[in-house]
Chain A
Amino acid sequence: MSASPMGTLLVVDDDVRIRRAVHRAISARGYEVVLAATGEEALVLAAERPPDMVILDMSLPGMSGLDVCRELRTWTQIPILVLSVHDRSHDKVAALDEGADDYLTKPFDTAELLARIRSHLRRAASAAPPAPVVQAGDVTVDVAGRTVTRDGEEIHLTPTEFALLGYLLQNAGRVVTHGLLLSRVWGAAYEGDVQTLRVHVANLRRKIERDPDRPTLITTEPGVGYRLRM
């Protein structure tokens, strides 16, 4: 599909300096880079030549980053990483709810950006059929057998905790918003019930994390949601 064996990235940002800096950083690692300054341009370029991943700024002139994200999701599941200016931006959560995979807050470290790109491209490449047994840290999850073990010892999970862990595993590496987790695990009626979610995540962490005070498997994205790291 793409000219580069590493993959093609579409970078959408209205600031020429950011485009240039990102371009310099990622093309040096062997990725092919396509640049767009507006959302409209990005959609045209993406349709002409589907990229392997999109890096999308949220505050664009004209068509917003959120609109671009929504539009892209009507026809492709390629990883989308959104860039937002501020920690507290609601766009970020909205974009993640619309199917974006991850976010970075400006200013960001290009090393961090590259790490995210690698992780999402790897995930997308191996996405095909979900493995029956998944290893997350030192915890082994047998999805079909519905058992979780650590060091050969079985960890008992309630059905809700298993469903929660299962959904996070399906989206391993992605940021899953509170709303999305609640509506997928509990049902649409629970979308606003973040407290219920917190209680179950705390219980789940107590069971699967080595140190629940410093979780390494299920990390909190403050004000946004959770991410399962593998």
Chain B
Amino acid sequence: MKNRSRGRIRWRGAEVLGVSRVLENQARKFGYLTATLGVLGASGLLFAIRDTFLDKAYVGLVFLFVVAAAAAIGGTPPAVVAALLAFICWNFFFLSPYYTLELADPREWVMLSLFLVIGLLIGHITGRLRLREEEAIGRERHMASLYEALLAAQASREEALEEQRKLERLAAEAAAQQEVERLRGTLLSSLSHSLKTPLAALTATLTSLRSGDVEWDRAAIQEGLDEIFEDLERLTEHIENLLSLAHLESGDWKPAREWISLREVVATAVRPFSETDARRIRIDALAGNPLVRVDLVQMSQAVRHLLENALSYSPVTSLVSVDACAGEEGLDLWVDDEGPGVSAAEAELVFRRFFRGDAARRDGVRGTGLGLAICREIVVGHGGTLDVTRAPAGGARFRLRLPHAAYAFEMSATPRVSHEEGAA
């Protein structure tokens, strides 16, 4: 591929040079033609009026004109030819005695010699000018062809790079596909596990309650119903989470961003919690409550998942606190808990769908294993990042970072605000 295109370029360069040479030869031929015909034609014309009203001074000027024309068209050699030819014609036809190369007046030799010198000089100077011009054109052509060759070489290099990139992409795609296949396996098993567990519990409770062989007392029936309700809630939550994740991933749930106070986002996230849970949540200063540009439904859901996570993985009497801070890299919002924290080894894994940490399995914490995955999906969709570190008090700190463009402290820094009291 590379060689072929380079060969093509060389050939094209040769073609350019060849064309210029042909053009040059043609110009020279025209020069000679101009010299010969010009001198002869001028002689003929001047001869026709020689004996009537011709002033001898004109003859020299006319011939000089022809020499200059030949030089302009064909360069030095045609000019020299024209000068010599004119020298002879002038002497032969216009200086007495006519039709001989002898001269009656020796002063006329001086004039003729001067003419010859001037003619040759014109030819020489014009010729050099032409040469310079041709050199310039040649250089320009050379540069152009070099440039063209350079471009072509670059293009072919890019082609090669593109090809390499394509191969790399294909390889990456194949690897990703493999990963997808592998994940699909684990995903399906986790999915069937997490959907079937509450279903199994539901079926067991319901079938035992409806079987006619035992007379259940009211308390037992109530207990059974409560269990059924809990299992249903679990199932519902799981399905909702699956749907949210599917919508987010397929890209058909795009964030509808608006400027809104961070406090409102957090308040909206806290509202669905039961009173018992809500009492464990402490909302701190939130960095002076900046405005954030987020989709309220999505972002409050993300914060709710973080809170849910913190509440489930810490002692039931401990506090979960929410706070924020604006820094160089953006606005951080974090949720701290007093639980066991997340080990460095699990720090990235916890954001994988269906991943349940050691703590979750050990302590039998209920959860869908999707909350943090959804949370990250939402945060990334807003151009932010989500990670987990250690809270100063020892528990886990889930930190959600929004880029600079997504928050503002001054109402005036955001567009579309009017009205009397204006600033918040």
| A88 sits at the interface (CB 8 A) | yes
What chain B residues lie within 8 Å of A87 (beta carbons)? 297
Chain A positions within 8 Å of B52 at CB level: none
In Å, the complex CA distance between A222 and B264 comes to 10
Tell me if B263 and A213 are in contact (CB < 8 A). Answer: yes
* With contact pairs A88-B297, A107-B236 given, residues A198 and B259 touching in the complex (Cβ less than 8 Å): yes
Q: Contact check, B297 vs A223: say whether CB atoms are below 8 A apart.
A: yes
Does any Cβ of A come within 8 Å of B192's Cβ? no
Tell me if A196 and B416 are in contact (CB < 8 A).
Answer: yes
Residues of A within 8 A of B243 (CB): 86
Inter-chain contact A198/B260, CB cutoff 8 Å: yes
Q: Is A76 an interface residue (CB 8 A)?
A: no
Q: Is A193 in contact with B416, judged by CB distance below 8 angstroms?
A: yes
Assess whether A219 is interfacial by the CB under 8 Å rule: yes
- Check A202/B261 contact, CB under 8 A, given A195-B414, A213-B267: yes
CB distance from B329 to the nearest CB of A (A): 26
A220 to B267, alpha carbons, bound, how many Å? 9
Chain A, residue nearest B421 (CB): A158
A214 within 8 A of B: yes
Contact of B420 among A160, A193, A212 (CB under 8 A): A160
Task: Indicate if B110 sits at the interface (CB-CB under 8 A).
Answer: no
Q: Select which of B258, B270, B297, B424 is within 8 A of A203 by beta carbon.
A: B424
Q: When A107-B236, A223-B296 are in contact, do A198 and B264 touch as well, CB less than 8 Å? A: yes
- Interface residue tally of chain A, by bracket? 20 to 34
* Cα–Cα, bound, A229→B297 (Å): 21
A196 surroundings in chain B (CB, below 8 A): 416-419
Contacts of A223 in B (CB 8 A): 256, 296-297
B424 close to A213 (CB less than 8 A): no
Question: Which of A88, A107, A214 touches B270 (beta carbons < 8 Å)?
Answer: A214
Interface size band for B: 20 to 34
Residues of B255-312 whose CB lies within 8 A of A: 256, 258-261, 263-264, 266-268, 270-271, 278, 283, 296-297, 300
Cβ–Cβ contact A222 & B263, under 8 A? no
Nearest chain B CB to A156 CB, angstrom units: 11
Q: Give the shortest distance, in Å, between A193 (CB) and chain B (any CB).
A: 6
Q: Is the CB of B297 within 8 A of A202?
A: no
Interface string of A109-134 (1 = CB under 8 A from B): 00000000000000000000000000
Interface string of A188-216 (1 = CB under 8 A from B): 00000111101110110000000011110
Asked if B411 is an interface residue, CB under 8 A from chain A, the answer is yes
* Nearest A residue (CB) for B414: A195
Given the known A-B contacts A213-B283, A220-B264, are A199 and B270 also in contact in the complex, defined by CB atoms under 8 Å? no
A86–B270 CA distance with the chains assembled, in angstroms: 20
Minimum distance in angstroms from B225 CB to a CB of chain A: 12
Q: CA separation between A86 and B253, bound complex, in Å? A: 12
A213 and B266 in contact (CB under 8 A), knowing A160-B419, A160-B420, A203-B424?
Answer: yes
With contacts A158-B420, A198-B261, A199-B424 taken as known, whether A88 is within 8 angstroms of B296 at the C-beta atoms is: no
Contacts of A213 in B (CB 8 A): 263, 266-267, 270, 283
Task: Please name 15 pairs of A and B residues whose Cβ atoms are closer than 8 Å in the assembled complex, sorted by A.
Answer: A87-B297, A107-B232, A160-B420, A195-B260, A195-B414, A195-B416, A196-B416, A196-B418, A198-B259, A199-B411, A199-B417, A202-B264, A212-B263, A214-B278, A220-B264
Binding site for A on B (CB under 8 A): 232, 236, 243, 247, 253, 256, 258-261, 263-264, 266-268, 270-271, 278, 283, 296-297, 300, 411, 414, 416-421, 424
Q: A residues engaging B (CB < 8 A)?
A: 86-88, 107, 158-160, 193-196, 198-200, 202-203, 212-215, 219-220, 222-223
Task: List the 8 closest pairs (A to B, CB-CB), nearest first.
Answer: A223-B297, A222-B297, A195-B259, A213-B283, A199-B424, A222-B296, A220-B268, A213-B267
